[in-house]
Chains A and B, each alone.
Chain A
Amino acid sequence: MSDAVIDQKTLAIETERYHHFITLALWLAAITGVEIVLIYLPLAPAMVLGVLALLSAIKFFAVILWFMHLIYDARLLFWLFFAGLALAFATFAAMIALFSTGRIDTKWFA
């Protein structure tokens, strides 16, 4: 692609993405609204927590796939990022498991 001239193919792609971005922004705002309403509903906390986690995951992946172009870009970038994400989640899971034994010596936290 020349620095001065933008080809028609790029223009068409970006115009199509523009509409995707608007739709996605509306969905993200709507999901955030649903999350706020959810916490005030008289439902079981465990169920609400599950739904909140799911909605957060949807927002998270929607942003990385469309706004961050991962869906349009090379697959390698997705797996690179996913590796970091997996390690972060594994750290979280390991720490939760570690501190769920019920046999923690409180003097370490005093």
Chain B
Amino acid sequence: MSQDAAHHAPTSTGIDHKKLIMWLFLASDCMFFGTLISTHLLYRKLYPTGFTDAEGHQQFVQKLFNIELTSFSTFILLMSSFLMALAVSAMHKGELKSFRRNVLGVIFFGLIFLGCQVYEFTHFYHQGLTIQNSVLGSTFYVLTGTHGTHVAIGILWLVLMYFYSFTGKLGGHVGALDVEVAGLYWHFVDIVWIIIFTAVYLVEYLGPSGIWGDGLPVLAK
């Protein structure tokens, strides 16, 4: 048994139930996001032409995306994950003030990430990409929107945990475990974005017309 497992109350698996259930949930969420990412990539392969805007002009994804903004939000989310790890560590050490400071940082970075996503969605919408007018719009908004919803839920969870810490009930081993479980969720949101950043954004910049070829739909070839 590892060092962490040794701190838990006795269970048949040797792992605290809260943590075990969270890992099971994350495994199922992995399949959920796996399906969404697969769907997006498949439809990008089948329909590489991007989308048609309201004026009937063909638009290419490479010109629509703002890789600088997405890179910035990726960096922000990675750093929020780092602060979350520090918050969990602080709780294990019983340093409540340090925990609060780090959690506030995570919440702040999470809000910046969401702000970037709202800006991106608004920009794309004004460029003509909607959830209804193309396959790209449908898969892109559903995938990144689902991820954004996960981020929003994570922020809400951490805000509640932050205020709960002032009641004096968030402490000791049980409190540290609760924070660790919330941290697992937050890190998962981060790793999903690591995949989305590469599979959805970066691949669009490979070669002059992106990884999806010369702009002709595969089905038409």
Contact = CB atoms under 8 A, between A and B. Distances in A.
Interface in B134-189: 135, 171-174, 180, 183-184, 187-188
Contacts, number: 176
B205 A40 contact: yes
Interface in A37-94: 39-40, 45, 48-49, 52-53, 55-56, 59-60, 63-64, 66-69, 72-74, 76-77, 80-81, 83-85, 87-89, 91-92
Given A1-B7, A60-B195, A67 B45 contact: no
Contact residues on A (Cβ < 8 Å of other chain), bracket: 35 or more
Indicate the size class of the contact surface on chain B: 35 or more
Nearest to B89: A14
B67 A32 contact: no
Interface string A1-41: 11110100011011101100110110011001001100110
B82 A25 contact: yes
B2 A85 contact: no
Contacts of B187: 63-64, 67-68
A69 B179 CA distance: 13
A4 B39 CA distance: 50
Contacts of A69: 4, 88, 180
Contact of A67 (B37, B82, B207): B82
A21 B219 CA distance: 47
B67 A4 contact: no
Given A25-B78, A48-B206, A95-B38, A39 B67 contact: yes
Interface in B1-36: 1-5, 7, 13-15, 19-20, 23-24, 26-31, 33-35
